[in-house]
Structure 1
Amino acid sequence: MDALAQDFSDTWLIVPCFNEGQVIREVLEHARETFPNIVAVNDGSKDNSAAEIHAAGAHLVNHPVNLGQGAAIQTGVEYARSQPGAKYFVTFDADGQHQVKDVIRMVGRLREEPFDIIVGTRFGRPRAEDDQVPWIKRVVLKTVVFLSPRTRRLGLTDAHNGLRAFNKKVADEMNIRMNGMSHASEIVGMIDNNKWRVAEEPVDILYTEYSMSKGQSLINGVNILADGIVARRL
């Protein structure tokens, strides 16, 4: 079915945001062309992110101080799951890496297939010549999976992919306590402990010059590897 013909009024995008004022308005406006319900959590940004979120027409929730992505996602989930008619929920990055076309497919699978949560993966297709995943990122992400027996047991290949779609059952049971990078492994633990039915969906991640400067640094890779150590204990 054409995306324009679909009704996504029962779907909420949850967008954690920290100092994304340069791009957040464009990201939200584009997403709202398909998904009218978006809550963006301004996680203590020092720039104009809050004003840009408001201008884009999204629901705005402010953290007075920066608490980390895990906390921002949990705040967004709590806000979205309280809204009348909310059935499906999607965590969606603020920097323009995630694609609306992928969200459409993921929500469609939740409607039609017996899954509670669909997790995006950068590794679900044969590697193409134009694959944008930086080699250091690829090594780090595969190392994290190797370090986590639980992730492998669930059949997940990209546990740090922030694009996730899930149903109301998952939203009601989600309780992220790890505020920083470790929330990704915590979500994997919740999938396992709560017996949520999980599948992966191959997605395209758009690595722009802006997103690379924001999230692909060496220290970010170190943080993800540290999360892998946490995952091994979960």
Structure 2
Amino acid sequence: MRGEVLHYDEDHGFGFITGADGNRYTFAREDLRREASMAKGTVIEFQPTGGRARDVFSIRAQTASPSADAPAATAAPTQTGNAPVAPQHFGRFAENAPATDLWSYFRRGLTENYFNFSGRARRKEYWGYCLFSTIALIVVVGVGLFVDDAMGHLDELPAVTVGLCGAFVLATIPPWIGLNVRRLHDIGLTGWLFLVVFIPTIGWLIILVFALIPTQARENQWGPVPAGVRA
């Protein structure tokens, strides 16, 4: 995954990376593929493992040699200073930025975020996962009922339906918990608050309220503002 160094302490060999997925990852000196400068703003590639970045290495920007007909200046000054902004830098992140549609959030929830309990999840990610997981459960129930009907089990215990639904629920518990933890992080709260779900009667209502709160539109201790959110 493509990312950018937020901070690296050379003395202690420890730092933070913001990934193209909008999440923040920690890394240490032993995670570097090769010794290189890891100054703030360095563009890197890495392998995400939960909240840890592995196999980290910096990417050297390739600049084309100027031609005789090319204009002398190719970058415009920023609004906050006179230093030019390299368009290649932002182009690389645009090409590698994660998709922010509902299906992509659901797909990543079952793949790279399956055991991810760090970082942040915006409201769209939360409800996108809820939408497609509900659709998937309906499909699983439909398949189970069809098989049970064909086997003549509907008049008794629909064993296939119960088995398929049980397997689906068990398989989706880790990403569901991780999603709720990241949603709490996104609004500036600790993920341990997800334990309120075990409060009888009102636990799920409290979780619903947390899920509806807008994203904290600034970087917090759990990472930068998720991709696609206007800060």
TM-score by length of 2: 0.25
Highest RCO, 1 vs 2 (Cα 8 Å, sep ≥ 6): 1
TM-score by length of 1: 0.25
